[in-house]
Structures are given as structure tokens and as C-alpha cells.
A and B are shown apart, each in its own frame.
Chain A
Amino acid sequence: KQEVTQIPAALSVPEGENLVLNCSFTDSAIYNLQWFRQDPGKGLTSLLLIQSSQREQTSGRLNASLDKSSGRSTLYIAASQPGDSATYLCAPDTGANSKLTFGKGITLSVRP
């Protein structure tokens, strides 16, 4: 059974800092891993998807890395802004287009 851990549960940083959000998972037999953003009371917005054969994926100020063998992924946010404040969730996919398993997420607050 896949289990996903995201630590810490909450993070507060000043604007402009570069930061790293960590995600660990127990079953390394994954097809891909997605990072999502969730604003309060809203649905999930897909940020990045890393395929199992990839090591990194980049979109703007976001960079996600994947180390499948060690069961770890990181989301790097460069030059953080107050608009980045949200909860960030990672979700590995252990089946072909199948169910995602989520951690509890990391709630990020970027102070102006």
C-alpha cells in the first residue's frame, strides 16, 4: 500500500526566498508523480508531472525532481511570492492512469 509523507506540515517564509518542499513515498514502483497546489476551499491545480523515467521537470519558477529508487520527490520554488501561499500536495501514481495517493500536503505562507 502506497503511503505518502510530506514534512513539515506548514512553512512560513519571507518573500523572495528560494524554498524546497519534500515528499516521500513508500512504493517506488510508480508510473509518475504529480505536484498540485490547493488554495483554501478550492480544488487542485496541477503544477508538474514527472514521469518515472525523468529526473526533473520545470515550469517557470517551479522545478520538481524525482528519485524513484529512494522514494523521494522535491518541489523547488524560486524567488517565492505572496501569491505562492497555498497548500502543496504530491501524488504518486502506481498504476496505469490509475488512482493517485496523496500526502496531507504542506501549507506554505509567503510573508510580504
Chain B
Amino acid sequence: DAGVTQSPTHLIKTRGQQVTLRCSPKSGHDTVSWYQQALGQGPQFIFQYYEEEERQRGNFPDRFSGHQFPNYSSELNVNALLLGDSALYLCASSWGGGVQSNQPQHFGDGTRLSIL
């Protein structure tokens, strides 16, 4: 049973460029959340997708956008990259978006994004 998979594992971009990160949820999960983890910090919630719609959003600018596909996989897009966007981007999946399910969220190994 595959867990949450993210691609690519590492990425180097320059300021002003755009990037797309990908996530496949754990089998049976329908809800995908994205988090940004800067070095030495805890993860910060970016947004959550359920039924192909953004359900909740954290305190991140519109440069951060996402998408969820019918097979529940998801993409995170970041435009006009800044040096401060350098971080580990984590994807988490769970089941039962919109319902109090008390199911644990499962995380992937993340994509390490470095901005030069």
C-alpha cells in the first residue's frame, strides 16, 4: 500500500520563476493538504483540497495556487518565486474531507525547493 508520494524530491529555481510540485495521496484518501516548512520551523498550512476544490487556505499570498484532480492527486504552483520561498514543501493526505473523521493525516517526504 503506497503512502503519500511527492515529486520531485529536490528542485532548484531562480527568483521570478514558476514551479509546480506534485502529490499523490495515500490509497483511499480523498483530501490533500499542503504545508511549507522553513528550516528550523514547524510546517505551516498553505491550503487544503477536497472534491477538487480549495476548502481552506492559510496565510499565503495568491502566488501560491493549487489544483486537485479527479483521481485525488494534487499540484502546488508557486509563481514569481522569492528567496523566502526556499523550504521543504510537504503534502498530507487524509480521508473524509468536510466530515469530522478523526483520521490521522499522512505526510509524504516532501519536495526540497531552493531558490537562487
Interface positions of A (Cβ within 8 A of B): 4, 31-32, 34, 36, 41-46, 49, 51, 89, 91, 95-105
B contact residues around A89 at 8 Å (CB): 42-43
Question: B48's contact among A45, A91, A98, A105, by CB below 8 Å, is which?
Answer: A98
Q: A95-B56, A97-B96 are in contact. Are A104 and B105 (CB under 8 A)?
A: no
Which residues of B sit under 8 angstroms from A99, Cβ to Cβ? 33, 45, 48, 56, 58
Contacts of A41 in B (CB 8 A): 88, 112
Question: Is B90's beta carbon under 8 Å from chain A?
Answer: yes
Count of chain B residues with a beta carbon within 8 Å of a chain A beta carbon: 34
Find out whether the CB atom of B43 lies under 8 angstroms from the CB atom of A44.
yes
Q: A44 to B33, alpha carbons, bound, how many Å? A: 13
Residue of A nearest to B100 (CB): A96
Distance in angstroms between the alpha carbons of A24 and B103 in the assembled complex? 22
What CA separation (Å) do A41 and B33 show in the bound complex? 19
Interface contact A31-B102, CB-CB below 8 Å: yes
**Given A41-B112, A91-B42, A100-B45, list of 19 further CB < 8 A pairs?**
A42-B109, A43-B6, A43-B110, A44-B43, A45-B107, A46-B104, A46-B105, A49-B102, A89-B43, A95-B56, A97-B94, A97-B99, A97-B100, A97-B103, A98-B48, A100-B35, A100-B92, A101-B45, A105-B42
Question: Main SS of chain B's interface residues?
Answer: loop
**CB of B106 within 8 Å of the partner chain:** yes
Contacts of A42 in B (CB 8 A): 109-110
Cβ B90 vs Cβ A98 within 8 A: no
A-B contact pairs, 25 of them (CB 8 A): A31-B100, A31-B102, A41-B88, A42-B110, A43-B4, A43-B6, A43-B90, A43-B110, A44-B43, A44-B107, A46-B106, A49-B103, A49-B104, A89-B42, A95-B56, A96-B101, A97-B94, A97-B97, A97-B100, A97-B101, A97-B103, A98-B56, A99-B58, A100-B92, A104-B42
Per the bound structure, the CA–CA distance linking A51 and B43 in Å amounts to: 21
Q: How far is the CA of A103 from the CA of B109 in the complex (A)?
A: 19
B107 and A103 form a contact (CB under 8 A): no
- Cα–Cα, bound, A103→B102 (Å): 20
